[in-house]
Each structure stands twice: as C-alpha cells, then as structure tokens.
Amino acid sequence: MRRHVLLGVGILGLGLAMALPPAAGAATQIVQVSNFAFTPADITVAPGDTVRWVWVSGIHTTTSGDNCTANGLWSAPLDAAHPVFERVFDGPSGTNSYFCTPHCMFGMVGSVTVGGGLAVPEESAEGSARPALRLAAAPNPLTDDTRIVLRLPLAGHARLDIVDALGRQVATLVDRHMEAGTHAFNWHADVAGSGSAASAAGVYFARITDPSGSSALRLLLVRR
C-alpha cells in the first residue's frame, strides 16, 4: 500500500511540474529616453524579456515601425506625465524597429532584436536589419567650430547636414559617394552658409543619411 501511495504522489508531482510555468528567468532591459536619443538605441533580448523605456527629459514616444511609419505593434508617450513604458517581447525571433514620433526625422530611432539572449556584435552587418551608424563630435558643446566623426557601415552616397532644432538646413558638410569606414569633417558655426548669417546659439543636429539608414547627433552651440 505504501508503495502505491508513493507512486501516486510521484506521478502527481510530475504532473504538477509539467503544468507549472518554467522558473522565472526573464530579464528587464532599460532604455533611457532623453536628448533626442534612445540609450542604448539597439538592444538584443531573449524571448520573454521585458524592455522598459524610462523618460529622462523632453517629450517623446516609443512607436513601433520603420522609416517613421508606425506599424501598430505599440505606441506610448514618454514625458513627465508618462515616465515609464514596458513591453514584454515574447514573440518570434527578429528585429523590432521603433522611433520617437516628434523626433524621428532627427534620427531618434531604435530597435529591439529578439534572439537567444546573446548580444549581436555591432560590426556584423550581415543579417542585421539596420547596421549601426555612429556620429561623434568634439568639442560639444562648441563655441565656434567642431569636428564631426562618422562611421559608415556601407559604401554609397552619403549626405551630412547640419540642421537647427526646427529641422531647417544650416549647412551641408558632404554630399557624395563615400567608402565604408570612418570619416571626419569640420563644422564652422561662425561661417555663413546658404545665404544665411553665422549660426546663432542653440541646439543643432548633425544628420547623416546613407544607404544603411540615417542618424543624428545633438550639438549645442554656445556664444560667449
């Protein structure tokens, strides 16, 4: 009798173990939202992981889609009244692109790749929906001029513009075919361009567009 009871308990325990969900192993990855950028912009998560967008400053959204066009998977405001938005990525493997609705034209975009939980190397463009595009500038903030360094993951026609906070073009630093790799250009804010006067103090963006996509870097011009 005792053996039958133990056997029954063992079968019952196996059934309960099969019915219960797997042990909690999901992670939460945080994306900060400020300065017209998602940080980090591109992340890789395991199925079942949560992505938490945390507002720091400005008025933004996280909206799923490509080329500034929403695809309806998710869209949420991120501002002082809505400081946090979370989404569980439990769907099939693949890359989910997203953007900030009011700042997409300035390159405020990101992606969540659902994979096996291992980060995808930045340098590997093969199989990536949107190869990495990087911009850097020094000095920034600047008082008169700055050196802008960009990395192009693919060869092709590239255009590097300086635009103001309203999206108006201030200067074009390059507009031609360029090889993949790292390139550097100077922006002289004191030099008038396109018939306009020297740039006034304020926020500007260096915006690069090439065959792999577009990206923007916030620049702060101060005057003494």
Backbone angles phi, psi at 23, to 5 degrees: -60, 145
CA distances in angstroms from 49 to 45, 103, 198, listed in the order given = 6, 27, 49
- The whole model's pTM is what? 0.47
Q: What single DSSP character describes residue 165?
A: T
The model's pLDDT over 42-101, given as tens digits with 9 standing for 90+, comes to 888 888 899 999 998 889 999 999 888 899 999 999 999 999 999 999 877 889 999 999
Which of 23-32, 140-149, 176-185, 189-198 bottoms out in mean pLDDT, i.e. has the lowest? 189-198
- Any idea how long the chain is? 224
- Asked whether 48 and 55 are in contact (CB, 8 A), the reply is no
Between 173 and 126, residue with greater pLDDT = 173
The model's pLDDT over 131-155, given as tens digits with 9 standing for 90+, comes to 444 688 888 888 888 888 888 888 9
pLDDT band at 20 (very low <50, low <70, confident <90, very high): very low
pLDDT of residue 129: 39
Nearest alpha carbon to residue 54 among 28, 85, 26: 85
Helical ranges in the chain per DSSP H: 2-19
Q: Which domains are assigned to the chain?
A: 28-114 (2.60.40.420), 134-221 (2.60.40.4070)
H or E, element range at 57: none
Between 1 and 176, residue with greater pLDDT = 176
The model's pLDDT over 144-186, given as tens digits with 9 standing for 90+, comes to 888 888 888 889 999 999 988 888 889 999 999 999 888 889 9
Rg (CA), the chain: 24
- Asked whether 119 and 111 are in contact (CB, 8 A), the reply is no
Between 159 and 215, residue with greater pLDDT = 159
Q: Which residues, at least 6 apart from 209, have a Cβ–Cβ distance to it below 8 Å?
A: 158, 159, 161
pLDDT band at 33 (very low <50, low <70, confident <90, very high): very high
**Averaged pLDDT for residues 17-45:** 72
